[in-house]
Structure 1
Amino acid sequence: MERGRSSSTKLSSSPFFFFFLFLFLLLGKTQARRERPKPCKSLVVFWHDILYNGANRRNASSVIVAAPAWGNRTVLSSPNNFGDVVVFDDPLTTDDELSSKPVGRAQGLYLYDSQAVYSAWLAFTLVLNSSAHVGTMNLIGYDPLLNKTREVAVVGGTGDFFMARGIATLTTRAFEGSVYFRLRLDIKLYECY
């Protein structure tokens, strides 16, 4: 009788053994995926945006092109600018000052996509033309504006950034109401050709 029990105990414990072995192997692969590789290229640029407000036509580098039914195209809508679509052609510099020499342009759009949270969805191209870099980088992603840092994906590029893939970390450096903001873009590329 003892012999029968021990063999049935062995059989009933073997599925548990294989389950835990499978779980251990799965967790091991998950841990390996979490380690970030070292970037193959990185750069930092500053994005300066001046929104047209009806009075600053000469200095504006962005404009509201669509607004919700209750809004208009010179003042961002409430609540949380929801429904506004802004197109921009903004200068990029290598330091915080707008007066410093531009190294390119940020061109694209952002749209405010939430009534509950102050956030935007970004789709734009960095057009770089400096002694250090020539080419474009395409970026896209969700931007929760009140977070200290946010990340958007680098999904492609041309020139020095041919088929680049990576992450751009956005940090708000300054803002003046809804008319001006300056962001620091810390770009790390993980696929470079």
Structure 2
Amino acid sequence: MAHHIPCKLLFLCLTFFTTTQTQAHFAEESLEICEIKTPQQTTKLHFYFHDIPNGKNPTAVIIARPANLKTVGFGTLVMIDDPLTEGPETSSKLVGRAQGMYGEAGLDSSDQQDVSSLLMTITLSFTQEKFNGSSISILGRYRVSDEQREMPIVGGTGVFRLARGYALAKTYKYDPKTGVAVSEYNVFVLH
């Protein structure tokens, strides 16, 4: 019986090294493809993000929440299809939509440092000018209590293919009665 253990070990090692070499070969091919040089540019975008959780036509709806919660709190997930506008008024020119979700990810703690932290996973889809049909993906932490929140851009499509950068969000207006929030966004995209 002890004689079979080294054989099994040898088989596992050979399987590992064979798999590793196959993957390395694939990675080498991918690296060759990625070595194509393309000029990059930085684009700055400025718009307003309207999160409307109540009323006749809400653009943000709770899709899950812990059973012990009656309101928004840790563990709540919200799906959004929020308008992005040129100015802070909802009647301002529509430039795109923020689609995706955010979840309440910060636990209430005694030091109050992690209260109201959202995990944002959204796609900013644009509808105007040369950016029509292009999008930017954001995935990151959004601390509601910070005056200015910074989130990373992790990708994009169309004009913004292979995008990276960051988005700065600042509360422009918030109505605690209705929950309607308007945030000003300054986005810096390298693409």
Q: Which amino acid counterpart does residue 125 of structure 2 have in structure 1?
A: V
SS of the aligned residue for 2:129 comes to: coil
Give a deviation string over 1:118-147, Cα, whole Å, max 9, x none.
Answer: 211100000101124220100010011010
Deviations 1:138-176 (A, max 9, x none): 001001101000100111111121111000011111111
| Aligned-CA RMSD value | 1.4
CA distance, structure 2, for counterparts of residue 49 and residue 105 of structure 1: 11
Distance 2:147 2:179 in 1: 19
CA distance in 2, matches of 1:44, 1:132: 15
Residue number in structure 2 paired with 1:114: 106
Q: Secondary structure at the match of 1:99?
A: coil
The residue correspondences of 1:39-188 to structure 2 (distance < 5 A) are: 40-52=42-54, 56=55, 58-72=56-70, 75-76=71-72, 81-116=73-108, 117-134=115-132, 135-177=134-176, 179-188=179-188
> How far apart are residue 115 of structure 1 and its match?
2.0
User: Displaced runs of 4+ in structure 1, greater than 4 A?
Assistant: none
Any unmatched runs of 5+ in structure 1? Answer: 1-38
CA distance in 2, matches of 1:131, 1:41: 14
| Residue of structure 1 in register with 2:20 after alignment | none
Q: The residue matched to 1:160 in structure 2 has which SS? A: helix
**Structure 2 residues not aligned, in runs of 5+:** 1-40, 109-114
Q: Distance in 2 between matches of 1:109 and 1:149?
A: 20
The alignment of Structure 1 onto Structure 2 pairs a total of residues equal to: 143
Distance in 2 between residues matched to 1:184 and 1:163, nearest whole Å: 24
Question: What is the one-letter code of the residue matched to 2:186?
Answer: D
Matches within 5 A, 1:27-42: 40-42=42-44
Q: Aligned partners of 2:90, 2:84: CA distance in 1, in Å? A: 8
- Once the two structures are aligned, what percentage of the paired residues are identical? 33
Aligned to 1:4: none
1:46 aligned partner, one-letter code: Y
Q: Normalising by structure 2, what TM-score? A: 0.71
TM, length-normalised to structure 1: 0.70
The one-letter code sitting in structure 1 at the alignment partner of 2:49 is W
In structure 2, how many angstroms separate the alpha carbons of the residues matched to 1:151 and 1:174? 18
Query: Aligned partner of 1:105: which letter?
Result: R
Larger radius of gyration: 1
For residues 150 and 131 of structure 2, the distance between their equivalents in structure 1, rounded to whole angstroms, comes to 22
CA distance in 2, matches of 1:130, 1:60: 23
Secondary structure of the corresponding residue to residue 88 of structure 2: coil
Output the CA distance in 2 between the equivalents of 1:126 and 1:48.
12
